[in-house]
Structure 1
Amino acid sequence: MKNILIKKLILKNFKGIKELVIDFEKITNILGENATGKTTVFDSFCWLLFGKDSKDRKDFEIKTLGPDGEALHGLEHSVIGILDVNGEEITLQRIFTEKWTKKKGLADKVFSGHETTYYINQVPAKQKEYNEKVTNILADNTFKLLSNPLYFNSIEWKKQREILLEIIGDIDQDNVINYKKELKPLEQLLSNNTPIEDFRKKVKDQISKYSKDKESIPFRIDECNNSIVEEDFKILEDRKVIIQNGINALSKQIAAGDNSSENMKLEKELSDLKLKYNSKLVEAKENSNKPLDEFNIQISDKKYEINDLEHQIQILNRDKFDTEEAIKAAYGIRTNYIEKQKSLRDIWHKENNVIFEFDENEKFCPTCHREYEIEQLEEIRTNAQGYFEESKNNKRNSINKQGKELGEKINQLETSIKENSENLIGYEEKLSEYNSKMELLKSELEQLEKDKQSLNINNTITFTGEQELTNSINEIKGKIANFKLTDNTELANRKLNLERELENISKQLGKKDNNETLRKRIQDLQEEERTLANEIAKLEGYDFLCEEFIRTKVGLLEERINSKFKTVRFKLFKQQINGGIDECCEALIDGVPFSNANTASQINAGIEIINTLSEFYEVNAPIFIDNRESINQIVPTDSQIINLIVSKDKELKVECKEKQEVA
């Protein structure tokens, strides 16, 4: 054990003290009013050893200041300390002086900086030699820990913990795991001697990553669900043909542009305002009328079903009307074609009944008007009859061809009429089914609303900005009610609606092949969500094991550390509300945190800590106790004590004792 004692300090021009000589004993009391220089004595000893003051500052004012607050020049600032180190007397001296040099061309010397000189046992020494000598006596960091009772608890808690672990030594991971059987799974998890801190950091990082991935899955599933189109694509394809025909027909009827865009803009604005109103209303209801939530949700869903069914009924009625119109038109065209066929048949019979008659004028030469010879005349007759028959056949063949084309068109029309008639039956059956379903839905909605009323809740639901939104909605409704369409606006709107519906149907048909892919994707996402949930649960189990490991290790460390102290106890972890733990290092005095204890308790606890540190470092160093007047008695210590006491003495007063009064 190394014992260090201060035997004497000699201050000269140090921080306002012109000259002061103090002889020290085992117990030395330095008394005086505030600002008489008690702390300066502590500063002088720290500066002598390490070039810093008692607050660990290198840059502090050493020089003596004049009345104007400026440093007095030309003075030598010096501290001499005579120490006893295990019975060996060592004298150290540090001198701080100004440097004045004479420059060429100037009569007087000028100030050019400062210099520090060092002496060991009255022998000049270089700074390196001096520092090595001081370090050999007592290192800077160790001196602060052993000389100031409040220093240990002023440093960062991690540094405190490091020092305490240095005293007791760390506990091997395997020992902690073997201490509690619940920690046995960590043997496999911490393979290759992986530090528990690194393993837990990795686990938490994986939990965070998996949790973010898992949170995103419901939204991705919703996106897939929302992208699936549940439609009868055969009906959509038939509807597409009908809509295209309707668009073509309307295009021919429209002679001028329409002004429906303004009305659409108003409808859009009204829709947005209603959406905003409903959103705020729902939010207000959630906060103020929670008992109605379940009914409101059911009623809302039921109304959505009704609205959706109404829309489907509207589409079916429109499809039914278009199909009826198509059948009616097909019948009209078919009748026209049949009439044409009948007319062609009459023409064919008339043409077939025509008989060849030889024109007598053909007997005579057109040039000389002489009658042809019999042989020549017979040839002329034969040729004329051949041309007649050929012409007659061509006419009959042309009529037959036109008749066949009409027959094919009639067959196509009859096939179309048959298919549309079958579709019409399907539409009527669907309408009957949907209307029955509509009555049931409305009945269910009515019952839900009655049940809701039976709750007898009559809260007035309001929200900030409700009146302004209502006024805006009414204003837009008024504009829509007063909106006038041009003569062909109705046609243009019908065409626009058909075009939108055609675009929507085309998109839906385009997604036909995508539906199966989306459903497969949903299954994959659901499986991924289950996998992630299992992984998170497993990792959370690992994290709990890590917490239990740390809690166990800290408990063991606390036992070891606290066994080194008589009254002071150290708390090495804090229990969190969520059951986790936070590592810390906090000294407790009779169960009270060091920072909340009174000055006397803090200093006595600090001396007890110094005793333990002194035993570990095997060094007893002088302890400076500031505000000593606030403590009646201090705990026993083998170290030299220098008490800095506030008294009514106008000048510093030194009292020495050979024996300590202990608590």
Structure 2
Amino acid sequence: MEIRLKRLELRNFMAIKKFVFEPNGKNATVKGANATGKTTLASGFRWLFFGKNVDDKTDFAIKGTDKSGQAVSNLDHTVRATLEIDGKPLELQKTYREKWTKKRGSATKTLTSHTTEHSIDGVPIQKKEWDSKMGAIINEDIFKLLTMPSFFSNMPWQRCRATLLEVCGDISDNDVIASDLTLSALPAILSDRSLEDQKKVIAAKKKKVNDRLKEIPARIDELLRTLPSESANRKVIKAYIKNIDKKIQAAKDDTVLSGLRKDLAEAQVKLAEAKAKTAQVILEANAGVDAKVFEAQAEIRKLKSQIDAIGDRVEGCEDKITRNNKSIAELKATHATVTARKQTYDEICPTCNQPLPSDQIEAAKAQFNENQATELTSIQADARKLKAGNETLQETVDADEKKIKSLGLEIDGFNAEIVNAEKGRVETTPTDHTLLKTEITRLQVDIEEKPTTDTTALETERREGQTKLAVLDSVQGTKKRIKELDDEEKRLAGEYEELEGQIFLMEKFTVAKCNLLEGQINSKFELVKWKLFDIQVNEGVKECCIPTLNGSTDLSNSERINVGLDIIRTLSNYYDIHCPIWIDNCESITHPLEIPSQTIKLVVSEDHPKMEIIYE
């Protein structure tokens, strides 16, 4: 479909009182200084179709203003266009009109509302039918894409990308994988998930593994601190004890006393071994308890950090509420002042001393009342906005306080877990320890009652040696646990590396797909080349949609215009619709790209104080 603009007439539209633009379906150039109405022509064309200006706004000022800046009343605001659609003429007209009514008991009419009238080929129709017919001619989004060179590039990049894929066609994942043999493992990694969902799954796994990897060194360090500072040799200690035993034996004069001392030494050895064995059993038994307590304490620290952050946000919201309340109070005071304001009217002309006409006096009163009502409405709107803001802030505060309470309950839960875990801690003293201690006490009493050579010092040295042997037995269990943690750390490091490899493969897939897409999409354009992905500093891949020209993304205004025209040409061919294109700021370009659609160039020229049309 080809749409050509034959004639465009504006009456009392924005700053234009009357202007006729008659390109007769051909290209044209509109020259004029700033604020002469060039962009108003484009806004009038856009408003005629869809009720918006070139900035995509519906609430713009259609009415012109007088020298004081007040809107001019009692005028019809009309845009009329004659189009040629595939060779057939079509006349469209839209009129924005004030509605004045006389209230009961009043002698004058007041402006109460506005109406918009529509007609096609001179036949009046309702707005609903108008919208339907305009949509049948061209979809509004397509209209914006095909009539304004800057519109496409100013869309969110996700929407630009989706439009390009619609126009140029997407590439299937199987085609991408087939293009690179190194991607053959990707389907097994994805399983039934999408690429983005699998990235989220892997990110969660990486976080879990990484959190555990952070905990293990602290746990190993804690166990290392329990080990003795010096490493003792078991054989050396045993030899030392054996030598002490010989000295003690040589010092004994009495075979009975010797037997008692032997029994005492054996009992002491048994007690030392029993204590070492018990200590090892308790250490192993409490390993689970220690792990649970450590994990619960770590979670409590995280929750307390969250509570602190939420508390700061609550404090900020409450400060904002206080400031808003102060502003509301000030607005109430201003509202009362404006409400109490009274206007005095001179009923005698100061020049001729004759009574002023009653309609002039009434007009002055109406103007004062209108201004006062406008000011009061503005104050009320500001107050309502602040109140609504306070309600939103209070909702945030309430939600955050609930969150803090919820987090506190979670902390209580972890504290309860610690208490329950501690209940399982083993600290009992076996019965055999007590029996051995009783036997040792009895033997010591018997020895004291026997006169003999004093071997106390030797026996003390012997006990010290035996204690060192018991400690060595306990150390073996600790070293075993350290070895287990070290093996776990290596295993998790390998798992983390594997997850990193999967992420790399998925990003490589994205790059491969973007490369294929770029080639396919760029083949549809003459000038512009599209950049569909960006390599990050950490070598990750971020999807994007950026137009480039000659490899550069930093485009001048003239380059942006030509890029926009190249995009419109491709989209026009895809949608099979060619519309009049309004090219603003065209003074910056000397050789605009030639395309089949009708073009209307808007050129700023200080040499033209009024608009001048150059028809081609």
Q: Which residue of 2 aligns with 1:609?
A: 567
Task: Spell out the pairing of 1:257-336 with structure 2 (5 A cutoff).
Answer: none
In 2, are the aligned partners of 1:7 and 1:84 still within 8 Å (CA)? yes
More deviation, 18-27/608-617: 18-27
Q: By how many angstroms is 1:114 displaced? A: 2.1
In 2, the alpha carbon distance for the partners of 1:44 and 1:542 equals 55
Q: Name the aligned partner's letter for residue 223 of structure 1.
A: E
Say whether 1:649 aligns with 2:608: yes
Asked if residue 554 in structure 1 is aligned to residue 514 in structure 2, the reply is yes
Find the counterpart in structure 2 of residue 582 from structure 1.
542
- Aligned-pair distance for 1:221? 1.8
Q: CA deviation at 1:16?
A: 1.6
C-alpha separation in 1, matches of 2:117 and 2:483 = 83
| 1:463 equivalent in structure 2 | none
Instruction: Give the CA deviation at 1:515.
Output: 6.9
Q: Counterpart of 2:153 in 1: which secondary structure?
A: helix
Distance 2:508 2:526 in 1: 28
**SS at 2:68 equivalent:** coil
TM-score, normalised on structure 2? Answer: 0.61
Distance (whole Å) between structure 1 residues aligned to residue 104 and residue 444 of structure 2: 128
| CA separation of 1:230 and 1:656: change in aligned 2, threshold 3 A | same
Cross-structure match for 1:374: none
Letter in 2 for 1:47: W
Write the letter of the residue equivalent to 1:592: S
**Deviation of the 1:22 alpha carbon:** 1.2
Q: SS of the counterpart of 1:620?
A: coil
Offset at residue 83 of structure 1 (A): 1.4
Specify the alignment match of 1:116 in structure 2: 116
Greater C-alpha radius of gyration = 1
Per mean C-alpha deviation after superposition, the further-off stretch among 162-171 and 195-204 is 195-204
Cα distance in 1 for residues equivalent to 2:545 and 2:78: 40
Separation in 2, partners of 1:558, 1:653: 43
Aligned partner of 1:45: which letter? F
In 2 relative to 1, CA 545–555 (structure 1 residues): closer, same or farther, beyond 3 Å?
Answer: same
Deviation of 1:417 (Å)? 8.6
Offset at 1:133? 1.1
1:624 matched to 2:557? The reply is: no
2:526 counterpart of 1:566: yes
Paired residue for 2:182? 182
- Classify 1:427/1:98 alpha carbon distance in 2 versus 1 (closer, same or farther; 3 Å): same
SS in 2 for 1:44: helix
Q: Which residue of 1 aligns with 2:319?
A: none
Shift of 1:522: 3.2
Label 1:411 to 1:167 Cα distance change in 2 as closer, same or farther (>3 A).
same
SS in 2 for 1:60: coil
Change (3 A) 1:630 1:425: closer
- Aligned residue for 1:592? 552
Task: Report the Cα distance in structure 1 between the residues aligned to 2:105 and 2:449, rounded to whole angstroms.
Answer: 126
Distance in 2 separating the partners of 1:557 and 1:414:
102
CA distance in structure 2 between the partners assigned to 1:224 and 1:88 by the alignment = 90
Instruction: State the Cα deviation string for residues 167-207 of structure 1 (Å, max 9, x = none).
Output: 12211111111111111111222333x32222223223322
- Equivalent residue for 2:195? 196
Q: Which amino acid aligns with 1:219?
A: A
State the alpha-carbon separation in 1 of the partners of residues 212 and 464 from structure 2. Answer: 49
Report how far residue 638 of structure 1 moved: 0.7
**Matched ranges for 1:363-382 at <5 A:** none
1:349-388 paired onto structure 2 within 5 Å? none
Change (3 A) 1:525 1:651: same
Q: Is the 8 A contact 1:85 1:137 kept in 2?
A: no
Q: One-letter code of the match for 1:644?
A: L
Looking at structure 1, the residues matched to 474 and 119 of structure 2 have their Cα atoms a distance apart, in angstroms, of 91
Q: Could you tell me which residue of structure 2 aligns to residue 87 of structure 1?
A: 87
**2:608 is matched by which residue type in structure 1?**
D
In structure 2, do the counterparts of structure 1 residues 514 and 69 end up closer, same or farther at CA, with 3 Å as the change threshold?
Answer: farther
- CA separation of 1:523 and 1:410: change in aligned 2, threshold 3 A: closer
- Structure 2 CA distance, aligned partners of 1:76 and 1:415? 134
SS at match of 2:209: helix
> Which amino acid in structure 2 is aligned with residue 651 of structure 1?
K
Residue 73 of structure 2 aligns to a residue in which SS? Answer: coil
**Distance change >3 Å, CA 412–CA 29, structure 1 → 2:** same
Residues 94-103 or 637-646, more deviating: 94-103
Change (3 A) 1:413 1:67: farther
Structure 2 match to 1:421: 457
Check 1:204–1:422 CA distance in 2 against 1; reply closer, same or farther (3 A cut). Answer: same
Q: Using the alignment, how far apart are the partners of 1:528 and 1:582 within structure 2?
A: 34
In 1, the alpha carbon distance for the partners of 2:100 and 2:455 equals 119
Q: Secondary structure at the match of 2:40?
A: helix
* Partner residue, 2:41: 41
Code of the residue aligned with 2:550 in structure 1: it is D
Offset at 1:56?
Answer: 0.9
Q: Is the 8 A contact 1:624 1:641 kept in 2?
A: yes
Matched to 1:656, the amino acid is: Y
User: Distance between the aligned counterparts of 1:517 and 1:99, measured in 2?
Assistant: 95
1:208 corresponds in structure 2 to 207
Identity %: 36
Q: Match for residue 75 of structure 2?
A: 75
Q: Does residue 4 in structure 1 map to residue 3 in structure 2? A: yes
Q: Distance in 2 between matches of 1:424 and 1:592?
A: 87
* 2-structure distance, mates of 1:561, 1:202: 31
CA shift for structure 1 position 142: 1.0
Judging changes above 3 Å, is the alpha-carbon distance between structure 1 residues 100 and 540 closer, same or farther for their aligned structure 2 residues?
same
1:570/1:428 CA distance change after superposition, 3 Å: closer
C-alpha distance in 1, partners of 2:452/2:91? 123
CA distance in 2: counterparts of 1:608 and 1:40, whole angstroms: 25
- Secondary structure of 2:70's partner? coil
Cα distance change, pair 428–625 in 1 and its aligned pair in 2 (3 A): closer
Distance 1:413 1:546, change over 3 A: farther
Deviation at 1:84, TM superposition (A): 1.3
Q: d(CA) in 2 for partners of 1:104 and 1:216?
A: 83
Give how far 1:99 is off.
2.2
Paired position in structure 1 for 2:125: 125
AA of the residue aligned to 2:540:
G
SS in 1 for 2:518: helix
Deviations 1:307-362, CA, capped at 9 Å, x for gaps: xxxxxxxxxxxxxxxxxxxxxxxxxxxxxxxxxxxxxxxxxxxxxxxxxxxxxxxx
Q: Which amino acid aligns with 2:142?
A: T
Counterpart amino acid of 1:536?
Answer: Y
Question: Could you state the TM-score of these two structures normalised by the residue count of structure 1?
Answer: 0.57
Paired residues, what number? Answer: 408
Q: Which runs of 5+ in 2 are unaligned?
A: 233-267, 273-441
What's 1:465 paired with?
none
Partner of 1:263: none
Q: Are 2:591 and 1:638 equivalent residues in the alignment?
A: no
